[in-house]
Amino acid sequence: MTKETGPACACGDTSVITGGRKRIIIPCAGIANVGQISHRAALQLTDEGYGVASCVALLGTGDAGLNMRIAEADEVVIIDGCPATCTAKIAAAQGIVPAQHIVVTGLGIEKVYTRHFTEDDVETVVSAAFEGKGRENND
């Protein structure tokens, strides 16, 4: 059995952040397709060197270490699945304002209550992050 290496995680060492900017990506934890898409997109963005992912659950706890790493980051990117924007609300409760806030349904992907999605759906979200489309949605 080989050991699988996963993407970097903002819960730990963020020295692996590449691409010239320290970014922390926080995806939705939803169960519907758009939550699954946001999670997969965050992992792909991490794999592609865009930043490192962190789970919204740790953010919600007010973890001091994560908050310190967020304060040291150049950007926080939030990927919410749907208009409920749970991840953005959790971040706001911690005083965190994202540089980008992407909402998967805002990219034309319909929320359905299954876990089925396509790689094209994931690529739509990944491309939106690289293109800065979530900057347009920030208030």
Q: 133 — phi, psi (to 5°)? A: -60, -25
Give the per-residue SS3 of the chain: CCCCCCCCECCCCCCCCCCCCCEEEEECCCCCHHHHHHHHHHHHHHHCCCCEECCHHHHHCCCHHHHHHHHHCCEEEEEECCCCCHHHHHHHHCCCCCCEEEEHHHHCCCCCCCCCCCHHHHHHHHHHHHHCHHHCCCC
Q: Domains in the chain and their CATH numbers?
A: 23-132 (3.40.50)
Among 119, 129, 116, 127, which Cα is nearest to 31's? Answer: 116
Q: Is the pTM of this model over 0.95?
A: no
Higher pLDDT, 7 or 43: 43
Query: Residue 79: what pLDDT?
Result: 98
Residue 139: pLDDT band with limits 50, 70, 90: very low
Whole-number pLDDT of residue 137: 59
